[in-house]
Amino acid sequence: MLWYKSWLDTRWRFLLGLALLLVFACGTVVSFPTVQELVRSVSPSEIAGSEVLRQELQESIEIMSTFRGYAWSEWFQSNFPIALAVFAALLGSGSPLVKSGTGTLFSLALPVARSRWIGTRAAAGLAELFVLALLPSIAIAVLAPIIGEQFPLGEALVFGACAFVGASVFLGIAVYLSTLVNDVWRPLLITCFAAVAIGMVGLALPEGHGLFAAMAGGAYFEDGSWPWSELLISAAAASGFVYAAAANVVRRDF
């Protein structure tokens, strides 16, 4: 019953997110030939500016010249982590102790521990987030042959796994905030603001470090290594927020 209720509460958010991510992933793949033509027409030496700017442009062109580099740069590094963070916040928002987020309490009289409600809701959200992270990543590898390219399925799974673990932090934040307020929108908006703040902090860190860099799997793209420190911290933070949410609900006087 708990799993079914969690599914009913989040199914449309999940299905909408899955549909949009798959459409965006498909668009990323089919846009490669056009982008490749554009990249070939750009000459860094003709760009006015500093040598550093021209060098960065040259590096970007080299990455975008192959489908592997293009897919990572345009999807796994840019669009995918941001979209997944938003959908993670959306999946985690809304208290499992209220009906459809309206604030009408129910189910508290059932012989089920409040902490179990939270645990089930968080687990269901994580399962849905896992699908959102993996299926669009797999779609990149599956659709690549349509344009005569290849993308390793193993790498797609790695990038999807990194994005999933990182995005679980935002789901945990949203779940915790949803135990403080009974609507969907405030936890969603606050979590999105938290994502922006985390992203800005990442910009101040050395290149390749930070939560969104870990979600992009940049270290794996460069040298085949996993961003273990960021992933472990993300998993611990997500678990901490869910635990705090469960403790908060247990203490609340409904």
Summarised one tens digit per residue, pLDDT across range 209-223 is 889 989 999 889 888
Side chain identity, residue 119: G
Instruction: Give the global pTM.
Output: 0.86
More confident residue, 248 or 234: 234
Do 105 and 50 have their domain in common? Answer: no
Do 234 and 209 have their domain in common? Answer: yes
Least confident window among 15-19, 30-34, 93-97, 197-201: 93-97
Do 109 and 153 have their domain in common? Answer: yes
More confident residue, 186 or 35: 186
Distance CA 254, CA 251 (A): 9
* Closest residue by Cα to residue 175 from 130, 115, 241, 116: 241
CA angle (51, 205, 75) in 5-degree steps = 75
* Closest residue by Cα to residue 105 from 95, 113, 115: 95
Q: Where are the alpha helices (DSSP H) in 151-184?
A: 153-178
Do 144 and 59 have their domain in common? Answer: no
Q: Which of 65, 87, 116 is the last residue of a domain?
A: 65
Exposure class string for 51-87: b at 16+ Cβ within 10 A, else e: eeebeebeeeeebbeebbbbbbbbbbbebbbbbbbbb
Do 44 and 123 have their domain in common? Answer: no
Distance CA 216, CA 162 (A): 7
Do 232 and 108 have their domain in common? Answer: yes
| 101 pLDDT higher than 50 | no
Do 61 and 11 have their domain in common? Answer: no
> In terms of residue numbers, what domain contains 235?
2-30+67-251
Which residue reads 């705090």 in tokens? 244
Query: How would residue 126 be classed by pLDDT, with cut points 50, 70 and 90?
Result: very high
Do 41 and 140 have their domain in common? Answer: no
More confident residue, 159 or 62: 159
User: What is the number of domains present in the chain?
Assistant: 2
Within 10 angstroms of residue 36's Cβ, the number of other Cβ atoms is 17
What percentage of the chain exceeds 90 in pLDDT?
A: 41
Do 25 and 119 have their domain in common? Answer: yes
